[in-house]
Chain A
Amino acid sequence: MAKTAVQEFTKGLWAEIPPFRLVLGLCPVLAVTKTVENGIGMGVATTFVLICSNILISLLRNVIPKKVRIACFIVVIATFVTVVELVMQAFAYPLFLKLGIFIPLIVVNCIVLGRAEAFAAKNGVVASFADGLGIGVGFTLSLTALAIVREILGNGTFYDIPVFGPTFEPFSFMVQAPGAFVCLGLMLCIMNMLGKK
Chain B
Amino acid sequence: MREMLKLFIAVVVFSCLSGGVLAAIQNVTKERIEYQQLKFVKGPTIKNIMEGCSNDPLIDRLRIVDEAREMHLFIGEFEGKRNTVAFETFGKGFGGAMGVIVGVNLENDEIIGVGVTTHSETPGVGSKAKTDPDFTAQFKGLSILDPFKVKTDGGQIDALSGATISSRGVCGALVEAGEIYKKLKPTIIEKMKEKQG
Contact = CB atoms under 8 A, between A and B. Distances in A.
Interface of A: 63-65, 67-68, 71-72, 75-76, 78-79, 82-83, 86-87, 89-91, 93-94, 97
B13 to A, nearest CB: 10
Contacts of B15: 75
Interface string B8-30: 00110011001001100110010
Interface in B141-170: none
B40 A94 contact: yes
Closest 9 CB pairs of A and B: A93-B36, A79-B18, A90-B32, A90-B29, A89-B33, A68-B7, A75-B14, A86-B29, A93-B40
A172 B25 CA distance: 41
B55 interface: no
30 contacts: A63-B10, A65-B6, A65-B7, A65-B10, A68-B10, A68-B11, A71-B11, A72-B10, A72-B11, A75-B11, A75-B18, A76-B18, A78-B18, A79-B18, A79-B21, A79-B22, A82-B25, A86-B22, A86-B25, A86-B26, A87-B29, A89-B29, A89-B33, A89-B36, A89-B37, A90-B29, A90-B32, A90-B33, A90-B36, A97-B40
A87 to B, nearest CB: 7
A76 B40 contact: no
Contacts of B32: 90-91
A32 to B, nearest CB: 19
B77 to A, nearest CB: 26
B82 interface: no
B39 interface: yes
Interface string B33-52: 10011011000000000000
Contacts of B6: 65
A118 to B, nearest CB: 20
B37 A76 contact: no
A34 to B, nearest CB: 18
A87 B24 CA distance: 12
A49 to B, nearest CB: 14
Nearest to B39: A93
Given A65-B6, A86-B33, A90-B36, A72 B14 contact: yes
A184 to B, nearest CB: 29
A116 to B, nearest CB: 13
Contacts of A71: 11
A75 B25 CA distance: 16
B113 to A, nearest CB: 24
A93 B34 CA distance: 10
Nearest to B32: A90
A61 to B, nearest CB: 13
Contact of B10 (A64, A76, A86): A64
A90 B29 CA distance: 6
A78 B18 CA distance: 9
Given A86-B22, A87-B29, 13 more contacts: A64-B10, A65-B6, A65-B7, A65-B10, A67-B7, A68-B11, A78-B18, A82-B22, A86-B25, A86-B26, A87-B25, A89-B29, A93-B33
A83 B22 contact: yes
A90 B26 CA distance: 10
Contact of B37 (A67, A82, A93): A93
